[in-house]
Every structure is written in structure tokens, then in C-alpha cells.
């Protein structure tokens, strides 16, 4: 597989992830919030705050996808192992951690502050939090490896 083909596959994966996120945040989340509002009268007052809370979790994801696109573009230009790409991956890691922290803080506020004791909500929150932590750890590890490769590449370029 050529460098250009690999970069294009990465860009396609980023676009696919963006389309999936747009579908979830644009269609599924509002429909789920509407269903919860219509099913349980006690949740109707939480419709707008809950919807805004969940929709705001999309911002770090959107920024992370933009950074991933920039990494894929650099790979296509044969600039895979650079300090910039290591920094981008590190930023993706921080964004994922911030998103998980914001999400869990919001879950705790809704759980205790509004007395919404829903078991499925906690199970879903645990799954989403786990996915965010996995993204954070993987992108942090990739950042470290890319930085080490960039340093080696810089040393190699100086010795030639």
C-alpha cells in the first residue's frame, strides 16, 4: 500500500466517523431526548438542558476529527513522523480526556442534582466513558511513538 493510498484511507475513515457522529448527534440524540420527554413526565423539564449537555460533547470530537484529518494529510505528503503530528495526537488525547471528564461531570450533575435514577443511563455513560478513555490512551501512545520517531528522523537527517 502506498503512502498516498494509506492517507486516503485514513481520510475516508475520518469522513465516515464524521458522518456517523453527525447522524448520532443530529438525529439519534434529539429523537432519544424527545422519547424520554414523552415517556416520563419527570424528565420533561430536563429535555433542553440534557440535549444541550449531550450536544456539547460533539465539539471536542469535531476538533479531534479535524486534527486527525491534518495527520492524514501529512501522511499523504510523506511527513508522517513530525513533532507537529505528535502534538496533534497529544491534543486528540487531551480532547478525549476532557470530553470524558465533562461527560461524567454532567452525568453526576443530572444523576444527583435532578434525582434521575436510571440504570440504563449509567450503563450507557460507562460505555461512552470507556470509549473516550480508550481513544485518549491510544492517541497518547501514538503521540509518544510519533515523537520518538520524529526525534530519530531528525538525528538521522543531521548525520547524513
Render pLDDT for 24-47 as a digit per residue (tens, 0 to 9). 999 988 888 787 777 666 667 777
Q: Are 51 and 106 in contact (CB under 8 A)?
A: no
Chain segment 52-106, per-residue pLDDT in tens: 988 999 999 999 999 999 999 999 999 999 999 999 999 999 999 999 999 888 8
Query: What are the DSSP E strand ranges found in the chain?
Result: none
Element (H, E) at 111: none
Amino acid at each position: 500500500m502506498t503512502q498516498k493510498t494509506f492517507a486516503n484511507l485514513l481520510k475516508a475513515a475520518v469522513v465516515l466517523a464524521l458522518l456517523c457522529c453527525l447522524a448520532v448527534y443530529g438525529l439519534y440524540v434529539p429523537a432519544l431526548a424527545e422519547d424520554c420527554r414523552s415517556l416520563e413526565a419527570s424528565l420533561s423539564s430536563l429535555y433542553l438542558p440534557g440535549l444541550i449537555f449531550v450536544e456539547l460533547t460533539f465539539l471536542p470530537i469535531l476538533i479531534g476529527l479535524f486534527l486527525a484529518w491534518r495527520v492524514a494529510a501529512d501522511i499523504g505528503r510523506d511527513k508522517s513522523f513530525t513533532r507537529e503530528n505528535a502534538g496533534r495526537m497529544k491534543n486528540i488525547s487531551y480532547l478525549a480526556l476532557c470530553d470524558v471528564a465533562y461527560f461524567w461531570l454532567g452525568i453526576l450533575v443530572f444523576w444527583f442534582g435532578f434525582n434521575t435514577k436510571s440504570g440504563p443511563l449509567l450503563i450507557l455513560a460507562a460505555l461512552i466513558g470507556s470509549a473516550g478513555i480508550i481513544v485518549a490512551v491510544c492517541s497518547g501512545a501514538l503521540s509518544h511513538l510519533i515523537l520518538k520517531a520524529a526525534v530519530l528522523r531528525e538525528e538521522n537527517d543531521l548525520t547524513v
